[in-house]
């Protein structure tokens, strides 16, 4: 029985009203047909193509164009985007706020990306901060966090998170003897900062719908950092212990909140780490393959139980 | 032919639509709870994350078990081939059994098993029949041919969209065994896809608004994209990145009439695909129409042998944004924001979830290409470098 036939039956049974029937049958027949997603993708692709071209043009032709022209154009676009966003923005609210116009989010995103291009140009041309790229990234991250929370924009929130991560990474890369262990520690510090920050903001009711983005970024970075410790030649025991704790926390969070991405993180990252610990130094190929065949079956059985009990389709 | 009954799949679809409508507020909670009981299916499903993880661990299990079988024994390649053929049968039978017995539906496990069966079958044929014999391209084309046939069968039997994509990829390899002429290879692939398109278009008209409509829509979109890629000589090459770096594919590689016919075709196809998608209100076909239109703009200059300019992406960006804004305004100006049955408003909760996830992921990805790269400490560093820029630009300050 097709969905249209079901709707007819539900209407006859009185389960849905005539108005509901008309509306839902229309949706099932794609009347009207929404191209909301397609238009948004077109806008996103347009903004990205524009900024890529802008960056490429500035890079290639800056000598011919001259500083004044380049900076005037970039500042003009930046100013226009800022004016548009601040003049059209709805009143600030700590909860999720719909954009005031369909292009609003993309104008803000365009402005943020042009800010990156202009900053890169300024530093490369005038060395304002004597090559202190990490400070630019920190400044940009701060600005993007402000904009993301002011205008309720996930694109810019992601820009803020990646700029902050870039600041941590660049700070370490400047050190003459940077090593994996230092990167790892700073990755953990980043996770701690972003995780605590996101949690505090969520608890205070400030754009709580952003929390999922924070959590996913933190979870993946944390697992990568801890796994890299497990793969180290020395001192991996503590990292393995940390991995087990992270997997337990991720699994518990995923099951209680029905966010199965975290169950998947726990299963895959945990399996990779535990497998490395157990087969580290084992040279017998038969033993290694037997390990994978048996443990993968065990994982399947456990996951099937989880799927049967918790994992309904979303 | 299909492993699942139509009523089961139709019930699952009804359940998904009910959930979506309830989330959007089109149904009350009481209505949803009542109607949900009428859409109970015997098929066992799970969410996308568990599905992916189950798929991964099934692949690990099967891969490790098969590798374990061959370890230490050192069999000849033909023996390996024969055993791989047996494993292919075992995997396929296990997939069918898991569906019959446990009612698995897009559960990851049965999907990984059928994927393994295709891989083992192709590898098995190669090892069993062609490992010791002299190279015979026509005979060896049996490998991708069998892969394509089994993938098609799996698509029909299990309804897995990526099995159809796999079949298309196998087909793309076939002409390489039959002829060395590049033009003929392009024509044969396009011919296969066109034949598939005719068949799908004929069949899908019977399934409008039922549970198979989306599946056929996706397949039709793949076929249009396949035809376009086969016809566009600047895109349909495995050496694409190298080719575009060193310069566009020369027209001399193909006969001139053929080359220019394909150029005409890449301009004709986008409007045809878009028109069909719009007429049928088919999301996937519209998306492919938009993609091939952009690809035509991008590949036009290499086709004509013209120099690329750094501002080309700016023009493309303005064009894409302008088109999106124009369509949006045009639709909004209609009665209740609807014109000719189209609206720019969001009607489904799914769209919002896609937007939220997409904006978070794309926002994380794009800064890698936008934000400045870390600089070395040299005082002589110069911005840019535009050696590849047109018009004699050096790109230095």
Q: What percent of chain B has pLDDT over 70?
A: 87
Given pLDDT bands bounded at 50, 70 and 90, which one contains residue B355? confident
Q: What pLDDT, on a 0 to 100 scale, did the predictor assign at position A291?
A: 95
* Interchain CB contact of A15 with B (< 8 Å): yes
- CA distances to A65, A109, B99, B297, B327 from A40, rounded to whole Å, are 33, 13, 39, 20, 11
Q: What pLDDT, on a 0 to 100 scale, did the predictor assign at position B110?
A: 96
CA-based nearest residue to A196, from A229, B360, A139, A188: A188
Question: Closest chain B residue to A67 measured between Cα atoms?
Answer: B397
Summarize the confidence of residues A59-75 as an average pLDDT.
Answer: 92
Q: What pLDDT, on a 0 to 100 scale, did the predictor assign at position B373?
A: 43
* Interchain CB contact of A69 with B (< 8 Å): no
Q: What pLDDT, on a 0 to 100 scale, did the predictor assign at position B237?
A: 58
pTM of the model: 0.89
pLDDT tens for A100-137 read: 898 999 999 999 999 999 998 988 888 887 767 788 88
Using a CB-CB cut-off of 8 Å, the residues of chain A touching B316 are 46, 49-50, 53
The answer for B 22-41 residues in CB contact with A (under 8 A) is 26-27, 31, 34-35, 38
Given pLDDT bands bounded at 50, 70 and 90, which one contains residue B209? confident
| Alpha-carbon gap, residue A21 to A26, rounded angstroms | 8
In this prediction the ipTM stands at 0.90
Write down how long chain A is. 314
Using a CB-CB cut-off of 8 Å, the residues of chain B touching A33 are 281, 341-343
- For chain B, what is the mean pLDDT? 86
DSSP per residue over A80-99, as a string? HHHHHHHHHPPPP-SS----
Q: What pLDDT, on a 0 to 100 scale, did the predictor assign at position A177?
A: 52
CA atoms within 13 A on the CB side of B208: 9
Distance from CA of A54 to the nearest CA of B (A): 6
Q: What pLDDT, on a 0 to 100 scale, did the predictor assign at position A172?
A: 57
- Beta-carbon neighbour count of residue A270 at 10 Å? 20
Does residue B136 have a pLDDT over 70? yes
Q: Are A135 and B374 in contact (CB under 8 A)?
A: no
pLDDT tens for B146-180 read: 999 999 999 999 999 999 999 999 999 999 999 99
* Interchain CB contact of B53 with A (< 8 Å): yes
Given pLDDT bands bounded at 50, 70 and 90, which one contains residue B247? low
Summarize the confidence of residues B191-209 as an average pLDDT.
Answer: 93
Whether residues A162 and B67 touch (CB distance < 8 A) is answered with no
Give the start-end residues of each E strand in chain A.
33-34
pLDDT tens for A264-273 read: 999 999 999 9
| Alpha-carbon gap, residue B153 to B163, rounded angstroms | 8
Residue B389: which residues within 8 A CB-CB, separation 6 or more? Answer: A60, A61, B310, B395
Using a CB-CB cut-off of 8 Å, the residues of chain B touching A55 are 370
Q: Name the one residue in this structure whose structure tokens are 């220019």.
A: B260
Question: Closest chain B residue to A169 measured between Cα atoms?
Answer: B374
Q: What pLDDT, on a 0 to 100 scale, did the predictor assign at position B380?
A: 39
* Interchain CB contact of A133 with B (< 8 Å): yes
Helix, strand or coil for residue A33?
strand
Q: Are B171 and B144 in contact (CB under 8 A)?
A: yes
CA-based nearest residue to A265, from A304, A302, A223, A295: A223
DSSP character for B1?
-
Q: What pLDDT, on a 0 to 100 scale, did the predictor assign at position B339?
A: 92
Question: Which of B98, B324, B365 to mutate against chain A (most A CBs within 10 Å)?
Answer: B324
Question: Which of B48, B310, B357 to mutate against chain A (most A CBs within 10 Å)?
Answer: B310
The answer for A 148-167 residues in CB contact with B (under 8 A) is 153-159, 161-163, 166
Summarize the confidence of residues B108-115 as an average pLDDT.
Answer: 96
First CA to last CA across chain B, in angstroms? 68
Q: What pLDDT, on a 0 to 100 scale, did the predictor assign at position B383?
A: 38
* Consecutive H or E run containing B339: strand B338-339
Using a CB-CB cut-off of 8 Å, the residues of chain B touching A31 are 341
Q: What pLDDT, on a 0 to 100 scale, did the predictor assign at position B117?
A: 97
* Consecutive H or E run containing B343: strand B342-343
Does residue B207 have a pLDDT over 50? yes
Which parts of chain B fold into alpha helices (H)? 6-24, 29-36, 48-70, 77-102, 109-130, 137-140, 142-158, 161-178, 182-204, 213-231, 240-246, 256-280, 283-304, 312-332, 349-365, 367-370
| Alpha-carbon gap, residue A243 to A223, rounded angstroms | 7
Summarize the confidence of residues B325-341 as an average pLDDT.
Answer: 92
Summarize the confidence of residues B246-271 as an average pLDDT.
Answer: 84
Distance from CA of A232 to the nearest CA of B (A): 24
Identity of the residue in B27, B347, B383 whose CB atom sits nearest the CB atom of A59: B383
Summarize the confidence of residues A215-219 as an average pLDDT.
Answer: 93
Does residue A251 have a pLDDT over 90? yes
Residue B293 burial (C-beta neighbours within 10 Å; 0-12, 13-18, 19+): buried
Whether residues B21 and A48 touch (CB distance < 8 A) is answered with no
Identity of the residue in B313, B327, B377 whose CB atom sits nearest the CB atom of A49: B313
CA atoms within 13 A on the CB side of A311: 28
- CA distances to B237, B292, B316 from B271, rounded to whole Å, are 24, 9, 17
Q: Are A225 and A191 in contact (CB under 8 A)?
A: yes
Identity of the residue in B71, B327, B348 whose CB atom sits nearest the CB atom of A34: B348
Q: What percent of chain A has pLDDT over 70?
A: 95
Beta-ladder partners of B44: B104
CA-based nearest residue to B320, from A151, A82, A53: A53
Whether residues A3 and B10 touch (CB distance < 8 A) is answered with yes
Q: What pLDDT, on a 0 to 100 scale, did the predictor assign at position B388?
A: 35
Q: Are A54 and A114 in contact (CB under 8 A)?
A: yes
Q: What pLDDT, on a 0 to 100 scale, did the predictor assign at position B374?
A: 37
| Alpha-carbon gap, residue A34 to B345, rounded angstroms | 6
Question: Closest chain B residue to A37 measured between Cα atoms?
Answer: B351
Is the peptide bond prior to A32 cis by the omega test (within 30 degrees of 0)? yes
Does residue A202 have a pLDDT over 50? yes
Range B142-147, long-range pairs (CB < 8 A, 24+ positions): B144/B170, B144/B171, B144/B173, B144/B174, B144/B177, B145/B170, B145/B174, B146/B121, B146/B122, B147/B118, B147/B121, B147/B122
| Alpha-carbon gap, residue A106 to A83, rounded angstroms | 14
Q: What pLDDT, on a 0 to 100 scale, did the predictor assign at position B242?
A: 55
Using a CB-CB cut-off of 8 Å, the residues of chain A touching B38 are 6, 10
Summarize the confidence of residues B8-20 as an average pLDDT.
Answer: 91
- For chain A, what is the mean pLDDT? 90
Q: What pLDDT, on a 0 to 100 scale, did the predictor assign at position B165?
A: 97
pLDDT tens for A138-155 read: 999 999 999 999 999 998
Q: What pLDDT, on a 0 to 100 scale, did the predictor assign at position B252?
A: 66
Q: What pLDDT, on a 0 to 100 scale, did the predictor assign at position B387?
A: 35
Whether residues A163 and B367 touch (CB distance < 8 A) is answered with yes
Given pLDDT bands bounded at 50, 70 and 90, which one contains residue B244? low
Which of A155-164, A212-221, B218-227, B383-392 has the least mean pLDDT? B383-392
Q: Are A148 and A156 in contact (CB under 8 A)?
A: yes
* Interchain CB contact of A135 with B (< 8 Å): no
DSSP character for B391?
T
Higher pLDDT, A169 or B302: B302
Q: What pLDDT, on a 0 to 100 scale, did the predictor assign at position B394?
A: 34
Higher pLDDT, A312 or B332: B332
Whether residues B54 and A260 touch (CB distance < 8 A) is answered with no
Q: What pLDDT, on a 0 to 100 scale, did the predictor assign at position B375?
A: 37
Question: Closest chain A residue to B324 measured between Cα atoms?
Answer: A39
| Helix A18-28 with B6-24: angle, nearest 10 deg | 120
Beta-ladder partners of B339: B342
Q: What pLDDT, on a 0 to 100 scale, did the predictor assign at position A179?
A: 64
Summarize the confidence of residues A65-88 as an average pLDDT.
Answer: 95
| Helix B29-36 with B6-24: angle, nearest 10 deg | 170
Using a CB-CB cut-off of 8 Å, the residues of chain A touching B294 are 45
A:B CB pairs within 8 Å: 312
Residue A153 burial (C-beta neighbours within 10 Å; 0-12, 13-18, 19+): buried
Whether residues A159 and B13 touch (CB distance < 8 A) is answered with no
Question: Closest chain B residue to A214 measured between Cα atoms?
Answer: B360
Q: What pLDDT, on a 0 to 100 scale, did the predictor assign at position A171?
A: 60
Q: What pLDDT, on a 0 to 100 scale, did the predictor assign at position B270?
A: 97
Q: What pLDDT, on a 0 to 100 scale, did the predictor assign at position B360?
A: 75
- Beta-carbon neighbour count of residue A294 at 10 Å? 13
Whether residues B395 and A63 touch (CB distance < 8 A) is answered with yes
CA-based nearest residue to A147, from A212, A207, A214, A74: A207
Residues B145, B272, B344: CA angle, nearest 5 degrees: 115
Whether residues A57 and B319 touch (CB distance < 8 A) is answered with no
Token pair of A110, please? Answer: 């365009």
Given pLDDT bands bounded at 50, 70 and 90, which one contains residue B75? confident
Token pair of A89, please? Answer: 């923005």
Given pLDDT bands bounded at 50, 70 and 90, which one contains residue B382? very low
Q: Are A20 and B27 in contact (CB under 8 A)?
A: yes
Whether residues A15 and B31 touch (CB distance < 8 A) is answered with yes
- CA distances to A113, A120, A128 from A69, rounded to whole Å, are 19, 16, 19
Helix, strand or coil for residue B338?
strand
Q: Are B342 and B331 in contact (CB under 8 A)?
A: yes
A90-94, B64-68, B385-389: range with highest mean pLDDT? B64-68
Given pLDDT bands bounded at 50, 70 and 90, which one contains residue B223? very high
Q: What pLDDT, on a 0 to 100 scale, did the predictor assign at position B240?
A: 55
* Interchain CB contact of B290 with A (< 8 Å): yes
Q: What pLDDT, on a 0 to 100 scale, did the predictor assign at position B395?
A: 33
pLDDT tens for B52-61 read: 999 999 999 9
């Amino acid at each position: 029985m097709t969905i249209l036939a079901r709707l007819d039956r539900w209407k006859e049974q009185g389960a849905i009203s005539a108005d509901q029937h008309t509306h839902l049958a229309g949706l099932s027949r794609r009347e009207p047909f929404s191209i909301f997603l397609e238009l948004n993708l077109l806008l996103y692709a347009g903004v990205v193509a524009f900024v890529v071209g802008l960056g490429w043009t500035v890079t290639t032709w800056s000598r011919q164009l001259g500083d004044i022209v380049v900076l005037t154009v970039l500042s003009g676009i930046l100013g226009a985007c800022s004016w548009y966003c601040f003049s059209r923005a709805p009143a600030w609210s700590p909860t999720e706020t719909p954009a005031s116009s369909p292009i609003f989010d993309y104008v803000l995103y365009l402005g943020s990306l042009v800010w990156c291009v202009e900053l890169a140009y300024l530093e490369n041309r005038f060395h304002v901060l004597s090559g202190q790229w990490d400070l630019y990234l920190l400044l940009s991250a701060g600005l993007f966090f402000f904009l993301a929370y002011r205008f309720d924009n996930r694109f810019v929130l992601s820009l803020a998170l990646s700029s902050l991560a870039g600041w941590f990474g660049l700070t370490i890369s400047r050190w003459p003897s940077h090593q994996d262990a230092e990167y790892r520690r700073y990755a953990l510090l980043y996770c701690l900062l972003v995780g605590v920050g996101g949690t505090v903001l969520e608890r205070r009711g400030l754009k709580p719908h952003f929390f999922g983005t924070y959590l996913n970024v933190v979870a993946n970075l944390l697992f990568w950092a801890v796994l890299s410790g497990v793969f180290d030649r020395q001192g991996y025991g503590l990292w393995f212990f940390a991995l087990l704790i992270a997997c337990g926390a991720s699994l518990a969070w995923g099951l209680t909140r029905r966010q199965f991405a975290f169950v998947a993180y726990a299963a895959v990252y945990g399996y990779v780490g535990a497998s490395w610990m157990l087969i580290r130094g084992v040279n017998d190929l038969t033993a290694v393959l037997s390990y994978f065949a048996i443990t993968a079956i065990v994982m399947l059985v456990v996951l099937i139980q989880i799927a049967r009990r918790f994992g309904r389709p979303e | 032919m299909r492993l699942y009954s139509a009523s089961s799949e139709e019930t699952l679809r009804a359940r998904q639509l009910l959930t979506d409508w309830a989330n959007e507020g089109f149904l009350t909670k009481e209505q949803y709870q009542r109607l949900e009981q009428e859409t109970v299916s015997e098929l066992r499903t799970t969410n996308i994350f568990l599905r992916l993880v189950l798929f991964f661990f099934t692949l690990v299990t099967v891969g490790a078990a098969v590798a374990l079988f061959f370890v230490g024994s050192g069999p000849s390649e033909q023996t390996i081939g024969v055993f791989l053929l047996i494993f292919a049968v075992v995997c396929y039978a296990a997939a069918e059994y898991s569906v019959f017995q446990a009612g698995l539906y897009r559960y990851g496990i049965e999907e990984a098993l059928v994927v393994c069966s295709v891989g083992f079958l192709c590898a098995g044929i190669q090892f069993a029949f062609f490992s010791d014999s002299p190279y015979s391209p026509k005979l060896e084309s049996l490998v991708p041919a069998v892969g394509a046939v089994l993938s098609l069968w799996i698509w029909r039997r299990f309804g897995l969209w990526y099995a159809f994509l796999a079949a298309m990829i196998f087909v793309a390899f076939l002409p390489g065994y039959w002829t060395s002429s590049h033009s003929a290879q392009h024509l044969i692939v396009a011919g296969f896809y066109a034949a598939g398109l005719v068949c799908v278009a004929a069949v899908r008209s019977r399934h409008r608004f039922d549970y198979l409509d989306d599946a056929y829509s996706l397949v039709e979109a793949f076929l249009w994209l396949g035809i376009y890629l086969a016809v566009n000589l600047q895109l349909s090459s495995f050496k694409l990145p190298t080719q575009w770096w060193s310069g566009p594919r020369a027209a001399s590689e193909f006969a001139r009439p053929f080359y220019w016919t394909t150029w005409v075709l890449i301009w004709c196809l986008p409007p045809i695909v878009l028109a069909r998608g719009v007429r049928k209100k088919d999301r996937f076909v519209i998306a492919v129409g938009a993609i091939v239109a952009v690809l035509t703009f991008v590949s036009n200059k290499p086709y004509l042998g013209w120099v690329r300019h750094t501002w080309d992406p700016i023009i493309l960006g303005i064009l894409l944004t302008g088109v999106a804004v124009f369509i949006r305004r045009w639709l909004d100006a209609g009665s209740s924001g609807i014109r000719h049955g189209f609206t720019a408003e969001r009607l489904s909760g799914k769209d919002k979830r896609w937007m939220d996830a997409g904006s978070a992921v794309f926002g994380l990805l794009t800064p890698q290409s936008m934000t400045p790269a870390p600089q070395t400490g040299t005082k002589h560093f110069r911005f840019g470098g535009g050696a590849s820029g047109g018009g004699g630009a050096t790109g230095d300050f």
